[in-house]
Amino acid sequence: MSSTEPYRLNSRAVAEATRQWLTKRGVSIEEIAELAYFLQKDYFPELTAEACVSHVEAVLSKREVHNAVLTGIQLDMLAEQRMLLPPLQEMLFHDEPLYGCDEILALSIVNVYGSIGLTNFGYIDKLKPGVVKRLNEKNGHDVHTFLDDLVGAIAAAAASRIAHRMQAAKEEEHPE
Ligand SMILES: [Mg+2]
């Protein structure tokens, strides 16, 4: 887009960019779905990996998710390129434990699906299963200070969506 054109939001382009950047940063939908499965498998034994993928896809269709993911990935990348101003540069590069804006940004994803998402988000942050653990490993050049929380939040939101949809399905099967 040239700077002479008036700005107009292209939601489809934003959604596509979100998926592309997740892939470019090494995160697959399947890995996020595995986290959602891990969170809900004990409550819903009939839950399948495929169903979890479709719940993650649904979460990934939300505007709040696109905005948070694009913002967080951008900040991670700027920290990798040492483009941020000190002291923020050092705090993001070293994933400073007392810097909490990564978790706060991710909450905008969790909030879309209510409080079940919130408890699951905290649980993932504490346990760091699967892809979250990988994103947390420090190798001295890759920065995933924001991405680990964003991925955990997408999985937690998907878990919440699963819980709500499963209940709705149960009530449809056995109406009062
Ligand atoms: Mg983080």
Distance from residue 125's CA to the centre of ligand 1 (Å): 9
Distance from residue 148's CA to the centre of ligand 1 (Å): 5
pLDDT on residue 2: 60
Q: Which of 24, 29, 31 lies closest to 54, judged by CA?
A: 29
pLDDT cut 90: percent of the chain above it: 91
Distance from residue 41's CA to the centre of ligand 1 (Å): 25
Q: Tokens standing for 59? A: 């979460």
Distance from residue 142's CA to the centre of ligand 1 (Å): 13
pLDDT on residue 175: 79
Distance from residue 149's CA to the centre of ligand 1 (Å): 5
Using N-to-C axis directions, what is the helix angle for 101-110 and 115-127, rounded to 10°?
Answer: 140
pLDDT on residue 114: 86
Q: What CA–CA distance (Å, rounded) separates 121 from 157?
A: 8
Distance from residue 5's CA to the centre of ligand 1 (Å): 37
Ordered structural domains, the chain, with CATH: 11-173 (1.10.3760.10)
> Which stretches of the chain drop beneath a pLDDT of 50?
none
Distance from residue 171's CA to the centre of ligand 1 (Å): 38
Distance from residue 100's CA to the centre of ligand 1 (Å): 8
Distance from residue 46's CA to the centre of ligand 1 (Å): 32
Distance from residue 25's CA to the centre of ligand 1 (Å): 15
Q: What CA–CA distance (Å, rounded) separates 157 from 68?
A: 13
Distance from residue 134's CA to the centre of ligand 1 (Å): 12
Do the Cβ atoms of 50 and 78 come closer than 8 Å? no
Distance from residue 161's CA to the centre of ligand 1 (Å): 23
